[in-house]
Amino acid sequence: MQMKHIVVTGGAGFIGSNLIQKLFEQYPGVRITCIDNFDNFYSADIKQLNIRDFKQLPEFTFLYNDIAETSAEEFAALIEDDVDCIVHIAAKAGVRPSIENPLAYQQVNVIGLQHMLDFALLKKVKQFVFASSSSVYGINDHFPWNEEEKLLPISPYAMTKLAGEMLGHVYSKLYDIRFLALRFFTVYGPGQRPDLAIHKFTKAILKDESIPMYGDGSTSRDYTFVKDTVKGIIGAIEYTATDFEIINLGNNYTVSLKELIHAIEDVTGKKASINQLPEQPGDVPKTYADITKARTLLSYDPQTSLKEGLNEFYKWFLENKELLMQ
């Protein structure tokens, strides 16, 4: 597809900023409008760091807006140029916080998406890529998970992501918007949010603090390196064959929490101190992606091993240690 102008919501966050960096590399002359409200879930300084390398480019426009509070008409007034694609990553993140404040997750993850779909309708945007989550699968022992599994979310966050997929299906059928829902599986790498395990554990080890390990360490995740995830997103940006798809973006193998901690110890060269805690409500015991559909439709082919990805993350962490260790 000929991409001239792409809107990325949540573009100052972890995945969004990695995506924007790659878009500028892959599409010479592309213009990016980034929408982000620097949600206080974590430090705005980290988000400023994420967009540091491209925020002064003339092809980059930043809008400081809350998608839950800004209407489609307001966005249309702010973004006057034609838009070729919307990549909607902005969301209230985190399973555990969603249990404490489910209404906030409804407002951002459902109403915010509604505003962006209505904006797409007003601007006649054909291509809409939505960041969903593997959490929609809930507890399901049919591994690896494919997109046809029965879905039983067990957290408000997961429920809002499933609602987002269905809202996109409605708009695809009613208004001929191509809607691609990408179910991300535990993305990690440079720029990773500080609340996520790899970032949190690395920081704790370097500060000689204990690592919180919920349960016995047997829970496992399909860890996916951010550059592989970004390639999948770009595949979705370029996809034109059908008008609605739900697609897993994982790494097609699973790593236990204990294995992850040992791998981080190897990368940092330091032993972790473990603080074992009870299992957390809303957490699933295992995630594991079947990526057959992504390979077929998006030519998706994740190549990064956990060791390689952790080394890249650790390099980024050390380069920005002064900010990240605060």
Q: What is the CATH number of the domain that holds 140?
A: 3.40.50.720
Beta partners for residue 74, in sequence order: none
Q: Is residue 85 part of a domain?
A: yes
In a domain, 193, yes or no: no
- Count of structural domains within the chain: 1
Residue 313 included in any domain: no
Domain-embedded: residue 60: yes
Given a contact cutoff of 8 angstroms between Cβ atoms, the answer to whether 131 and 226 are in contact is no
The residues that are catalytic are 157
CB 105 within 8 A of CB 160: yes
Ordered strands of the 178-184 beta sheet: 60-64, 31-36, 5-9, 85-88, 127-133, 178-184, 244-249
- Which of 195, 272, 194, 259 shows the shortest CA–CA distance to 223? 259
| Any domain includes 218 | no
Q: Domain range holding 70?
A: 5-188+224-253+290-303
Q: What is the mean pLDDT of the segment spanning 22-42?
A: 95
pLDDT value at residue 1: 61
pLDDT at position 284, please?
Answer: 85
Nearest in space to 129 (alpha carbons), one of 3, 260, 262, 295: 3
Is residue 214 a part of any domain in this protein?
A: no
Q: Per-residue pLDDT tens for 193-222?
A: 999 999 999 999 999 999 988 888 999 999
Instruction: Kindly report, residue by residue over 246-297, the tens digit of the pLDDT.
Output: 999 999 899 999 999 999 999 999 999 999 988 888 788 899 999 999 999 9
pTM of the model: 0.96
